[in-house]
Chain A
Amino acid sequence: MWAFGALALRAVVVPPERCPPVDAGVAMASARAAAGWIDRAQRPDGSYLYEFDRDTGEEVPAYNVVRHAGVTMSLYQFAAAGEGSAMAPAERGLAWMLQRQYRYDDWSALEDPTDGSVDVGASALMLAGLAQRRIATGDGQYDTMMRALSRYLMAMQQADGSFLNSWDRTTNAPDPRFRSKYATGEAFWALAMMHRLFPGEGWDTPTRKVADYLSLHRDEVEEQKFPPWADQWAAYGLAEMAAWDPATVDGGVLLSADNVAYARSLAERFGFLVRAESQRTGGRWSTLIHGRRARAAGMGTWVEALGSLYRLSLAEPRMADQAGKLRERLVCSAGMLAERQVTAAEASGQAHAEVLEGAWFTEGVTRMDDQQHALSGLLRSRLAMGAGERVE
């Protein structure tokens, strides 16, 4: 009876948690391969291959401007981590965005060319990309554009710190009907980087408002069923705030107690997600009991979040007790990511090898944000393996 119970428990509740070995070199090589995929699949106009089905050998005819901005941002992150080869595709991606600006009043925003919509997420990630570009190069040629994008975000911010997602071009006002569970965190991180790059211009004030909204109200206002919403952008933003120069903020206090409590709850959420994922084998029984393996676009966000929260735990004494576990989960998730990537050897000799190598496939399909989030996550994981910088 005991043996049967133990076996059932093992099979259903606690199958082994597999964390493939990984070090900073492996993580960097994997990130490089992901960036190589993005570069090879980029079109001459600067847009990227959106989605590819390896079973049919065909591209899926779709595009998403938010993901375009996100992929470009990840390339600039790679450049900021010292990988100069990422600059060329990133610059082409940036040029694509610069050609699609919607301007109103004193601000500028990235417009979706497919439907003309002007949403917060795309502009926030474009701003984040430009911030990473500035960190990578020190070049100030887009500072004016960064401020214009930031002013758009300010125009979309509500009194409680939240953001409405879409600009209504008929009323020339934010459309009160739409919010995005992604865009708020994206804007938060982008504005937090604005304060790092331009302290004294007042970007800390809207940043703090978002941080408090995310920490205290977002899950309730936006009706998250299982709070906290696993928001890696919020983790980026909190880590960025913790890295601010205390001399540049009122009272020198970087994070409030509520911000720290929220960060801790995010750490718990992402840690659990990684533990659960590490139990999935992709086999039939595992899929039946524990569900399908996460796609790289999902797991990459967990690695990004854990990388950010790990940085936060090193900078913020009230998070220090979580550093060990965060490091453990971060390395584990990076190892899983690296292991699941299509290697050059695996792609070699196959049809469309150039869009297989360096990619992550789920049920035969890869999408550009699989590579984006995996790339960003792997980069941010290196700090836990003794490489990388806390300010990246």
Chain B
Amino acid sequence: MSDWLRLAFVFLAAVNPAAVALSSWAPWRPRARPLETAGVGFGLALAGVALAAMLADRLLAALDIAPETFRIAAGIVMLAAGAYAVARARVAAASFEDGWRGGIAPLAVPLLFGPAALVAAISYGADEGAWMAATASVAALAVGAWLTAVRPGRWTTLADGVARLLGTALVAVAVGLIVEGVRDI
């Protein structure tokens, strides 16, 4: 697996589009959300990832943290997010409104650009470069945003399973990141 694909998978697990979708598909609201909301959410979340990745080196330098050490912190955050997804198959978020306001919050932050995506952007931005991190996150963010514009219907059960599976994957990624952080120089 190429580095880019590996990173795209990490962001898929960190963003967890299925959990994002489940958080937006309220059972009392069976219709799809407007694409406008998804578009705003995607754009802002991508900007957030790109900005975090671009500023990663400067941020870590300002905080006096080596990228290797930050991997441990990132792993811990991702571990918690992954465990939450496994248990709840949702992303913890406030109530969801349609329109561009809903695209900003909660869709962009914290559904798409949540703590796991933030620390992934910083950690991988510092290690692999901002461009690589930002482009690798596009697919996960796009799928997550698009799913909110899909009519829930029969996909809920499938999304629940996928969300927990991606949560498990995030736990595995997090453990790997912690081990990498401990084992690096």
Contact A2 B65 (CB under 8 A): no
Tell me the bound Cα distance from A13 to B69 in angstroms: 9
Please tell me which one of the listed residues A10, A13, A271 contacts residue B184 in the complex, with CB atoms under 8 A apart. Answer: A271
Closest-by-CB residue of A relative to B63 is A16
Contact B185 A13 (CB under 8 A): no
Contact B183 A272 (CB under 8 A): yes
Tell me the bound Cα distance from A14 to B39 in angstroms: 35
A6 smallest CB distance to B (angstroms):
9
Closest-by-CB residue of B relative to A268 is B183
Closest-by-CB residue of A relative to B70 is A14
Contact A13 B68 (CB under 8 A): no
Tell me the bound Cα distance from A128 to B4 in angstroms: 49
A325 at the interface (CB under 8 A from B): yes
Residues from chain B with a CB closer than 8 A to the CB of A187 are: none
Contact B73 A9 (CB under 8 A): yes
A5 at the interface (CB under 8 A from B): yes
| Per-position binary interface string of chain B over residues 56-75, scored 1 when its CB falls under 8 Å from any chain A CB and 0 otherwise | 00000001111011101100
Contact A16 B65 (CB under 8 A): yes
B77 at the interface (CB under 8 A from A): yes
B83 smallest CB distance to A (angstroms):
14
Tell me the bound Cα distance from A270 to B185 in angstroms: 7
B115 at the interface (CB under 8 A from A): yes
Contact A13 B72 (CB under 8 A): yes
Tell me the bound Cα distance from A326 to B70 in angstroms: 18
Q: Which of A146-173 contact B (CB under 8 A)?
A: none
A67 at the interface (CB under 8 A from B): no
| Per-position binary interface string of chain B over residues 70-97, scored 1 when its CB falls under 8 Å from any chain A CB and 0 otherwise | 1011001100000000000000000000
Residues from chain A with a CB closer than 8 A to the CB of B64 are: 16-18
B75 smallest CB distance to A (angstroms):
9
Tell me the bound Cα distance from A2 to B68 in angstroms: 22
Residues from chain B with a CB closer than 8 A to the CB of A133 are: none
Closest-by-CB residue of A relative to B75 is A13
Interface size on B, residues (CB 8 A): 17
A267 at the interface (CB under 8 A from B): yes
Tell me the bound Cα distance from A13 to B78 in angstroms: 14
Please tell me which one of the listed residues B66, B76, B115 contacts residue A13 in the complex, with CB atoms under 8 A apart. Answer: B76
Closest-by-CB residue of B relative to A5 is B115
Closest-by-CB residue of A relative to B183 is A268
Tell me the bound Cα distance from A10 to B73 in angstroms: 9
Residues from chain B with a CB closer than 8 A to the CB of A9 are: 73, 76-77
Contact B185 A268 (CB under 8 A): yes
* Given A9-B73, A14-B72, A17-B69: A325 touches B185 (CB 8 Å cut-off): yes
Q: Please report B residues at the A interface, Cβ cutoff 8 Å.
A: 63-66, 68-70, 72-73, 76-77, 110, 115, 182-185
Instruction: Return 21 A-B CB contacts under 8 Å, by A number.
Output: A2-B115, A5-B77, A5-B115, A9-B76, A10-B63, A14-B63, A14-B69, A14-B70, A16-B65, A17-B65, A268-B184, A268-B185, A271-B184, A272-B182, A272-B184, A275-B66, A275-B68, A275-B69, A279-B69, A322-B185, A329-B185
6 closest Cβ pairs, A-B complex: A271-B185, A16-B64, A325-B185, A14-B73, A13-B73, A268-B183
Q: Please report A residues at the B interface, Cβ cutoff 8 Å.
A: 2, 5, 9-10, 13-14, 16-18, 267-268, 270-272, 275, 279, 322, 325-326, 328-329
Known: A272-B68, A279-B69, A325-B184; 14 extra A-B contacts, CB below 8 A, are A2-B110, A5-B115, A9-B73, A14-B63, A14-B65, A14-B69, A16-B63, A16-B65, A268-B184, A272-B183, A275-B68, A322-B185, A325-B68, A328-B66
